[in-house]
Amino acid sequence: MTAVIALEHMDTNQIAIMSPEAMAIESPSGGFSLGGKYRINDLIRAMLLVSSNDAAEQIALTFGRDEFIKAMNGKALELGMTETNFIDPTGLSARNQSTINDLVRLTEYIRLFRPEMLATTKKTSGTITEVKTGKRRTLNNINPLASGKDFIGGKTGSTPEAGGNLISVFNIGGGPKIVIILGADDKFAETTKVKNSLWQ
């Protein structure tokens, strides 16, 4: 949802400066440094490829954190996600709540109206550029399913409380199929099992 709100409410060419608050977030990834300047679209790319929590936090801070979370929950209601509540932009808090039915609604919305998100997550890597120095870095997708021929896109995540979670969209039998795994010890293996069963 963080990427959806950023794409729909922000200028993705806007430059964000990595702040102490974002850099202090739990489980940072993407190799960001304090004071680094990045365009919003590169922060979105880091979120989608390597689950960068510091990028997600900085996007919300750049917009206005409280208003950003309000927009996330507003979009959830718009999509009929009545059992979903967002507390933060990273998904780290155990107080963030959703259901499989609600996540299907969100995934279907993204598939139909934000396909660029799925296209990003299908790539095995992507580049981001630090604006001040012009230095480019390659981020390798942490989702091993991204290289699959039938993989349309998806997003992985995990916390100690929620376990391993993975939302995937596959092209199976000529059409898209959504596979959602929550609370798994091995989310990739479980997803593959479900995907393979859909081919049978």
Asked if residues 181 and 165 have their Cβ atoms less than 8 Å apart, the reply is yes
Q: Is 70 annotated as a binding residue?
A: no
- The strand pairing partners of 126, in sequence order, are 139
Q: Measured between alpha carbons, how far is residue 123 from residues 45, 116, 148, 150, 193 in Å? A: 10, 11, 10, 13, 22
Distance CA 99, CA 16 (A): 32
- Contacts for 111 with CB less than 8 Å, ≥ 6 apart: 118, 152, 153, 169, 176, 178
Q: How many CB atoms are located within 10 Å of the residue 200 CB?
A: 4
Q: Whole-angstrom Cα distance, residue 145 to residue 153?
A: 9
Burial tier of 30 (Cβ tally within 10 Å: 0-12, 13-18, 19+): buried
Phi, psi of 35, rounded to the nearest 5 degrees: 85, -5
Residues tagged in the binding site annotation for substrate: 155
